[in-house]
Amino acid sequence: MLLVGQKSLEKSSNPESVPTIRRLDETLVNRIAAGEIIHRPASALKELIENALDAGATSIKVTAKDGGMKMLQIQDNGCGIRKSDLPILCERFTTSKLREFSDLQEIATYGFRGEALASISFVSHLSVVTKTRSDACAWRALYEDGVLLAPKEGAAAEAVACAGNDGTVTTAEDLFYNTPVRKASLRNPGEEYSRISDVVTRYAIHQAGVSFMCKKAGATSPDVSTPLGASRSSLIRLLFGAGVADALSDLEISSSDVAEQATGKRKRPKGDVDAVEESWSESDDEAVPVAKRDDKTTWKANAVFTNTSFQGKKLALLLFINHRLVESRRIQRGIEAVYSTIMPKGAHPFVYLSSSPAPAGRTTVRQTVSGDAPSDDPPTSSSTNKVASSTKLSVKSSRNEQVSGEGLNEDEVLRDSIANMVMNDPDQEEDAPSIANVSESECFLTSVSELRQQIQDDKHSRLTDILHNSKFVGMVDFACTRSLLQHELKLYLVNHSAVAEELFYQLGLRQFGNFSLLKLSPPPPLHELVHLAVEDDTDIHKAGLDPKKIGDAS
């Protein structure tokens, strides 16, 4: 190490060996920046969809060729772009969504920096056809490296008139044609189209009510198609299947719902004399009441998730923060941890989670260009951790509760999750009733009629429904005759011996006088059986009667 240090010192002391700092070419800088935003066709599509939604589009159509590498087109029916804005449309940091720095406090759009179209134009041949509702015709513009191109050689660089509908059609061709290393790494068109379809599917769920369509170029039918005005639950059924839709629960929660909750053992803040017996922690921000926090950002979140009757092969997580599609390993691990305690190994849920701060704190949630959610932003970590914890107690569709802290103790897990320990195959047909309907026999005995009426008077409709529609899970204790039955999402511990006794009693009473004849061969010796019964009857002996005479008289 000493020799290396000496050589480095000698080299640095030689003025000729010190490298010169040079200003990079602007085109190279822009291409590097574009590569940080546009990783693959799906990330370009994500930016274009958000632009369309910001334009107020209610219909978005996506067409891709060769996985979006050859051609990626998105058509919307939004407000369109003014012709006067087209010359600077693809320049960096040009936007219609921001004027002053103070506007960041109230901004409610997806983007505001003006980098998406610029970045796409640096790595593809970009064309835009747009028409506002006040325009008499549409306008077509071509872009390369952020600059508006001439429609043909020798002509001026300007947009040309063309036919078109209200809205905008953005087409990116030959994606990454000038970055061969990136293009070589994306050599599977099928995988890239699958990612494009996935992005469209996720935004279709989040933006319920907006019509989405996604198809391959030249295909007659789309791979994803959602109707205008559809509800989120119906879209989940359409795009993810009935198995997911039938097992859905939902939850809405906000910072005000958990503002006064605190859990765990934490230190009291210095100088806070009122926090006697309170539990505090600088690292457990979501457990600290909002009034006590340095960061008082408010947030709200809503989630749609499956209960344990659905078993997916892998986690389907649709995560939106500030309405932007993001990925977060931290949040994913938190959700997986919640479900791991109530689902069998290898089974995974469907979870849609959308979290957003109040407008004043909206831009404090940073998102990297790759779509990763930050791990240290209070609105993000607090709300998602709280929703994940609340999901534990809300996994049964009949309950929507909020809990504090990042996890639950064993008692809570057992109490709130035992009803979900048994899985149902949503595609499995219902079992046929194992007991046929037994008709009541005609009987004129008053005593039998009274006993039958007593059973009807004592009937419990809820217990009857549970027993009639339950499924046998298995034995728990043979010695104590205890079994488990599942009814809907709950498990019941049953004394099957007592149930069987009551069942056969009611069957006997219901069929009284209508039993089938049994012909025994050889016939039993009735005279001997009567004598045995009389001899065994202690009341006859106590009464001083002769058992033999009674037996003979029989």
Q: Same domain for 227 and 335?
A: no
| Domain end (from 331, 359, 387) | 359
What does the alpha-carbon distance between residue 442 and residue 498 come to, in Å, rounded to a whole number?
27
Q: Which of 359, 379, 401 is the last residue of a domain?
A: 359
Does residue 410 form part of some domain?
no
Which residue ranges in the chain fall short of pLDDT 50? 1-4, 103, 260, 262-287, 290, 360-380, 393, 396-434
What DSSP state is assigned to residue 13? T
Verify that 482 and 525 share a domain, yes or no: no
- Both 208 and 346 in one domain: the answer is no
Q: Is residue 530 part of a domain?
A: yes
For residue 356, what is the enclosing H or E element? Answer: strand 350-357
Strand (E) positions, 83-134? 125-131
In this structure, the answer to whether residues 104 and 179 fall within a common structural domain is yes
Short-list 232, 76, 89, CA closest to 167: 76
Q: Which two tokens stand for residue 68?
A: 């979006």
- Say how many domains are in the chain: 4
**101 assigned to some structural domain:** yes
Q: Is 175 helix (H, G, I), strand (E, B) or coil?
A: coil
Domain at 347, CATH number? 3.30.230.10
- Looking at the structure, tell me whether residues 247 and 144 fall in a common domain: no
Q: How far is CA 528 from CA 520, 536, 539, 547, in A?
A: 16, 12, 19, 12
Last residue of a domain, one of 333, 359, 385: 359
Supply the range of the domain harboring residue 524.
519-553
* In a shared domain, residues 101 and 172: yes
pLDDT, tens only, 392-408: 545 543 333 333 333 44
- 274, part of any domain: no
341 and 310 assigned to the same domain: yes
**5 domain-assigned:** no
Residues 326 and 457 in one domain: no
Q: How many CB atoms lie within 10 A of CB 485?
A: 20
Reduced to 3 states (helix: H, G, I; strand: E, B; else coil), residue 170 is strand
pTM (2 d.p.): 0.60
pLDDT tens-digit map of 276-332: 433 434 444 444 554 555 555 677 888 999 988 888 889 999 999 888 888 888 888
Residue 378 domain-assigned? no
Whether residue 11 lies inside any domain: the answer is: no
Tell me how far CA of residue 105 lies from CA of 95, 364, 376, 401, in angstroms: 16, 9, 20, 32
User: Which of 23, 34, 29 minimizes the C-alpha distance to 143?
Assistant: 34
Task: Give the pLDDT score at 228.
Answer: 94
- The predicted structure's pLDDT at residue 113: 59
Residue pair 287/263 in contact (Cβ under 8 Å)? The answer is yes
Q: In what order do the strands lie in the sheet with 324-325?
A: 248-254, 299-306, 350-357, 316-321, 324-325
Q: What is the pLDDT of residue 115?
A: 77
Asked whether residue 372 is assigned to any structural domain, the reply reads no
Residues 532, 486 share a domain: no
Q: Helix 378-394 vs helix 410-417: angle between axes, to the nearest 10 degrees?
A: 50
